[in-house]
Structure 1
């Protein structure tokens, strides 16, 4: 497996990309192609051991504050543009980036191309629930979505869950402010009608945010604006709960380790830790492009590479 790794992406710098790749290389042979500042990459590589690798030098990258389409045109030597171009040329099996979501989406569409019948590419994120996970899409790639786009998300999400999670008839819901069909804004009302009329979708209706973690849903669709707010609110609240939990336990460290409640909370924390999920694929384009969290650490990059390996094995690029 060959993976092009954008070293300019993460908030914590190129070191986490290389350390994460090293953790995965210790378990399974793969060929990383690191793109970024060569001196920085070599400095980080000196701390780890790789059987084989490649470095492609550039000092240019796309920032989160830049307008994606304009940045792609102006910065053809940026790490993201180079990574996507190499993928299109068949130089690797996948691209992994923790950089600009907008840049990755625009680059995936313009440089690699979208698949037939796809309105927009999107990011599917697994959200933990009482039993298993529910796939939420879009999680932030598209902040403004038409009814056609929402419908496209529902179809892609349903196909993705069917393939990846082996669910025969995925239950699809629309994230909304109420359960009744007439709830929501113009977009959600019209989306509800469109999804209800698709005989190939197992559409079950609206779902409220508070019910996401105790639902029978397999797929929840929304625009990327709503999806990203939901995702980051969930992450922030989970971090608040788990970081303050210790204050409710006996302060003796030995007692804490033996406390069954503490053990259960640790298990619950792992369920909500995005670092265990790593990256998610950009659905709808002609190639495997994975987006990792901007604040990813080495553990998250390691998990991302595991996800990519599974995607390559399942030949997801051929289907999504």
Structure 2
């Protein structure tokens, strides 16, 4: 059996979408137990209102609710002080349980990113030699190929050596999860030449080029983000987060405009539905960010996943399945072995 700790109160639409995603995951994964951390009354009331008795009977022995009424808002402040004072926020209580109980295999939250990064760093701890943890996002583009972007938002400011840590961790992630023996790694920059970018970027280029542990292929421009030959794209968290949010906004705008054009009048609506329905549906699927899943916090001694703050029930369900896949492939054990 796999046991996951989940923060029911994290995210823009918590606890409802978290509960919905959790129920879907429990129904489709018979070997899954979930410890749900949050306001017990709110969770139980929502379950009674929205879930049939048959479904509750199926999942009740595998769903445990840990009553933690306090939770972090998405603009939470003074995180370090709250951790130091042992404030029983749902995220912190769950992380402490994950750290102390070997029976829990991983943790998922859609709560505030910076709070999760700091709390994970202080409560869970890092792998030997890792000074900064990073968010690694696995994404698919139109070519249906899976790539990894890191850091996807954990660190707005970094030191040059931090990128090397990100590269080494992401390299192992690609080897273990994507079965790529020598992942191609590129650095996101404003040009492909070695001397392009800020002084820090030039120095990072040299640092990556001289490291024999990775297959560094040089710089990559953002306009090639979705058709790059690289398996792993490296960046600081600020730049990568801007790119991701621009992509999501552009994809949503494109989908809405295309849908509007195809349903502009009665004739275009009928023609597109009769002749192009399947093609259009498959095309839209390629822009569905719900399937992106969560971002993995790389460099920690436990599996910690950051689900999108605006997760839908389907995307949260997908994040749970992604976490199960990491556990079944012994990701944590294998990456720890590489750092010993």
TM range (shorter): over 0.9
- Structure 1 gaps of 5+ residues are none
Partner of residue 338, structure 2: none
Q: 2:204 pairs with 191, 195, 204, which one?
A: 191
Q: 2:323 pairs with 287, 292, 308, which one?
A: 308
**Residue 39 (structure 1) aligned with residue 55 (structure 2):** no
Partner of residue 64, structure 1: 74
What's the CA shift for 1:103? 1.3
Which moved further from structure 2: 267-276 or 6-15?
A: 267-276
Partner of residue 256, structure 1: 272
1:144-176 Cα shifts (integer Å, max 9, x gaps): 111110111111111111111111111100000
Structure-1 separation of matches of 2:71 and 2:262? 46
Partner of residue 89, structure 1: 100
**Residue 117 (structure 1) aligned with residue 129 (structure 2):** yes
What's the CA shift for 1:215? 1.5
Whether the 8 Å contact between 1:270 and 1:276 is mirrored in structure 2 is no
Partner of residue 279, structure 1: 294
Partner of residue 141, structure 1: 154
What's the CA shift for 1:112? 0.9
Structure 1 residue runs of 4 or more that deviate by more than 4 Å after TM superposition:
none
The alignment partner of 1:124 has SS state of strand
The alignment partner of 1:182 has SS state of coil
What's the CA shift for 1:16? 0.7
What's the CA shift for 1:271? 2.7
- Structure 2 gaps of 5+ residues are 336-340
Distance change in 2, residues 1:268/1:255 (3 Å): same
Structure-1 separation of matches of 2:159 and 2:22? 38
Q: CA RMSD in A?
A: 1.6
Whether the 8 Å contact between 2:166 and 2:298 is mirrored in structure 1 is no
Structure-2 separation of matches of 1:5 and 1:272? 27
The alignment partner of 1:220 has SS state of strand
- TM-score normalised by structure 1 residue count: 0.95
Structure-2 separation of matches of 1:110 and 1:272? 36
What's the CA shift for 1:51? 3.2
Whether the 8 Å contact between 1:62 and 1:75 is mirrored in structure 2 is no
Partner of residue 23, structure 1: 24
What's the CA shift for 1:7? 1.1
Structure-2 separation of matches of 1:241 and 1:71? 42
Structure-1 separation of matches of 2:67 and 2:183? 44
What's the CA shift for 1:227? 0.7
Partner of residue 246, structure 1: 259
